[in-house]
């Protein structure tokens, strides 16, 4: 629900989500949860009394893949209270909006996640855009940390449920397209489900077929998917070779080598989407937890299972932006686009979110010169240190 107060935000440096070169000293007027106007500020200008100041302002970061935060794992607390806690933990890293991500679970447990997100949106939980279902419709050849005993193919009951749910709720579904009945993919896409390939051993040719069936992107590019070798491009080669669609990527310096980060950023300037793939350790106090019988440990910023398999990430969105710039020498303006405008476009929300422009929802990430998050504005409501605060007296 939009905050109805009117106020100003002064950005010493403004990345608007599109331009690679930032603007300096911009006054943004917010009214009724929307951006009303942007004005350059000249020397000697006196700022309004009701004004928030920030060293760096960007559109509110949008995280398409976050499994947990604040010591809460969405799979194990698929309810409104759990989602409030996860969203608050995400805001510590500058995330304004998120798709809570429910990973592979028994049977049709994913329906509990859909119900929880729908309820959270109805109750106005700030920042919850929709739901990301990562599994269980995977390839057993590329399970990653996901429990293999619960991996299966889509059936008609799944398709009917998801098509109905997508009528009023944004759903991103990650699956292995080569393991599905192709008409099922077409039904889901026609109903508005955003389909990504992931945990998949698809060939480049199978990926091309999947795109024809409505698959528009891939989940955590380079991880848990078929790789590129000489005469077999795999999913990675298909994505980078065609430069089509969207791709989530984890820029933590662990999941993807800096050279591959740079390659992806150059190949997909309008399609690459920074994601955290964060687990409950983000903004939390735990360093180990159980994931369907597997003990997951956090050590030196890396989450792994008993056999060393990566188990999500310990990463915030502001760190992902900073890392992509540092590791891959990608311009900061482009890095911001990959955390804002690109994911908004992926969800078909690009006319409302992902840019700082008049008419857009008043959502911003507020950062200091070191790109540490100092606050988040979500639809006109200001959050600092995980609390919603009124910047001005009524």
User: Binding site residues, as ranges?
Assistant: 134, 145, 199, 220, 223-224, 231, 255, 310-312
Active-site residue flag, 277: yes
Collapsing DSSP to helix, strand or coil, 297 comes out as strand
Q: Report the distance separating Cα 379 and Cα 271, nearest Å.
A: 25
> What residues are designated binding site for Zn(2+)?
134, 199, 220
Collapsing DSSP to helix, strand or coil, 388 comes out as strand
Residues 6 or more apart from 73 whose CB is under 8 A from it?
Answer: 67, 279, 280, 289, 291
CB count within 10 Å of CB 364 equals 30
Phi, psi of 356 (to 5 degrees): -100, 100
Collapsing DSSP to helix, strand or coil, 254 comes out as coil
- What is the dihedral sign for C-alpha 2, 194, 147, 234? negative
> What residues are designated binding site for substrate?
145, 223-224, 231, 255, 310-312
Beta strands in 60-176 (DSSP E): 61-66, 68-69, 72-73, 95-103, 131-134, 171-175
* Pairing label, strands 7-14, 23-31: antiparallel
CB count within 10 Å of CB 321 equals 28
Which residue out of 3, 213, 252, 277 is catalytically annotated?
277
Active site residues: 277
């Amino acid at each position: 629900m939009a905050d109805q107060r009117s106020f100003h935000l002064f950005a010493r440096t403004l990345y608007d989500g599109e331009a690679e070169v930032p603007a300096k000293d911009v006054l943004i007027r917010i009214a009724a949860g929307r951006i009303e106007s942007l004005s350059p500020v000249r020397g000697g200008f006196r700022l309004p009394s009701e004004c928030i100041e920030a060293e760096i302002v960007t559109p509110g970061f949008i995280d398409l893949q976050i499994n947990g935060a604040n010591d809460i794992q969405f799979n194990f607390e698929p309810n409104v209270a759990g989602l409030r806690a996860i969203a608050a933990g995400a805001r510590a890293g500058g995330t304004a909006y998120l798709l809570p991500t429910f990973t592979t679970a028994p049977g049709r447990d994913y329906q509990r996640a859909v119900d929880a997100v729908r309820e959270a949106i109805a109750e106005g939980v700030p920042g919850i855009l929709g739901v990301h279902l990562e599994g269980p419709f995977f390839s057993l050849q590329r399970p990653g940390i996901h429990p293999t005993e619960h991996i299966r193919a889509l059936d008609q009951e799944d398709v009917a449920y998801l098509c109905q749910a997508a009528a009023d709720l944004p759903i991103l579904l990650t699956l292995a397209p080569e393991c599905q009945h192709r008409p099922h993919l077409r039904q889901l896409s026609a109903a508005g489900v955003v389909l990504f390939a992931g945990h998949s051993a698809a060939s480049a040719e199978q990926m091309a077929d999947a795109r024809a069936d409505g698959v528009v992107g891939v989940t955590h590019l380079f991880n848990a998917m078929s790789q590129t070798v000489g005469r077999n491009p795999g999913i990675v080669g298909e994505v980078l070779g065609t430069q089509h669609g969207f791709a989530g990527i984890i820029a933590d310096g662990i999941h993807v080598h800096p050279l591959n980060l740079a390659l992806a950023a150059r190949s997909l300037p309008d399609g690459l989407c920074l994601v955290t793939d964060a687990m409950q350790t983000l903004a939390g106090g735990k360093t180990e937890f159980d994931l369907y019988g597997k003990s997951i440990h956090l050590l030196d910023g890396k989450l792994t299972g008993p056999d060393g398999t990566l188990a999500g990430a310990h990463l915030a969105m502001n760190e992902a932006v900073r890392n992509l710039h540092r590791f891959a020498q990608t311009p900061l303006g482009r890095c911001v686009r990959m955390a804002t405008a690109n994911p908004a476009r992926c969800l078909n929300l690009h006319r409302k979110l992902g840019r700082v422009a008049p008419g857009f929802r008043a959502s911003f990430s507020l950062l200091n010169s070191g790109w540490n998050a100092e606050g988040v504005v979500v639809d006109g409501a200001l959050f600092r240190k995980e609390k919603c605060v009124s910047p001005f007296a009524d």
